[in-house]
Amino acid sequence: MMLTDYVKQVSLEDFGWEFRHHAHWNKRLRTTGGRFFPNDGHLDFNPRHLEVYGEAVFRQIVRHELCHYHLYFQGKGYKHQDNDFKALLKQVDGIRYAPKLKESSVKYTYCCQSCGQVYPRRRRMNLQKYRCGKCQGMLSYEKNANQS
């Protein structure tokens, strides 16, 4: 089933209102499950939420975005802080916040050769320039488990 067809189905079943625009997958979304665009009415969704959390949670994310959509076109308060939005979201059992996608930002792990202090880092360090902050010992690079 296409995403737009799925969103139309959820809209009719859960809201009783028709969804008249398009829904798209957007792999670039990082911190959110979906977005509503008032200027043209389309919705974007993060495909990783469907992969990681399954269809039940994804349907709640779709309901959340449809609350924005329907309230905007009805001329009511469609933003997160508006009472109309909060009431409709509760009525259709939508999810207030999309669950976090666990992505490790640690790419490099360094260890002190003297005291064993571990330093997880996002960026590489110059091992000739930096020392352990605890004992001033030499640091060494440790290969991360997620790297081959």
DSSP code per residue over 25-58: E-TT--S-SEEE-TTT--EEE-HHHHHHH-HHHH
* Three-state SS at 69: helix
**Cα 57 from Cα 63, distance rounded (Å):** 10
**What is the H or E stretch that residue 86 is in?**
helix 83-91
The verdict on whether residue 42 carries a ligand-binding annotation is no
Catalytic: 65? yes
The verdict on whether residue 68 carries a ligand-binding annotation is yes
Rounded to whole angstroms, what are the CA distances from 7 to 3, 4, 25, 65, 83?
A: 6, 5, 12, 10, 24
Q: Give 114's contacts (C-beta < 8 A, 6+ positions apart).
A: 132, 135, 137, 138
Gap between the terminal Cα atoms of the chain:
37
Please tell me which residue in 51, 65, 103, 142 is annotated as part of the active site.
65
Please report, in range form, the residues annotated as the binding site: 64, 68
Please report, in range form, the residues annotated as the binding site for Zn(2+): 64, 68
Active-site annotation, residues:
65
